[in-house]
Amino acid sequence: MQRDCYSAFLIMNVKSNLKEIDRELCFKEFDNFKMLHDKEILRLQSSEYRAKVVWEYKMK
């Protein structure tokens, strides 16, 4: 998992005082976050998506 994605996850789970991470909430939410992350990675790696990105790049 990229550092930026993990940082976003931690920010999502900050306590209301905005000064500390809610570790319990992190433990509760991480599996779902990781599953969605992995699903998105697979989508981005799909040949259809990659072909679209290459085509759009060549059109610039």
Band of pLDDT at residue 53, cut at 50, 70 and 90: low
Q: Give this prediction's pTM.
A: 0.69
Query: What pLDDT is stored for residue 60 in this prediction?
Result: 62
Q: What is the mean pLDDT of the chain?
A: 87
Instruction: Give how far Cα 37 sits from Cα of 20, 22, 31, 50, 56, Å.
Output: 23, 20, 10, 18, 24
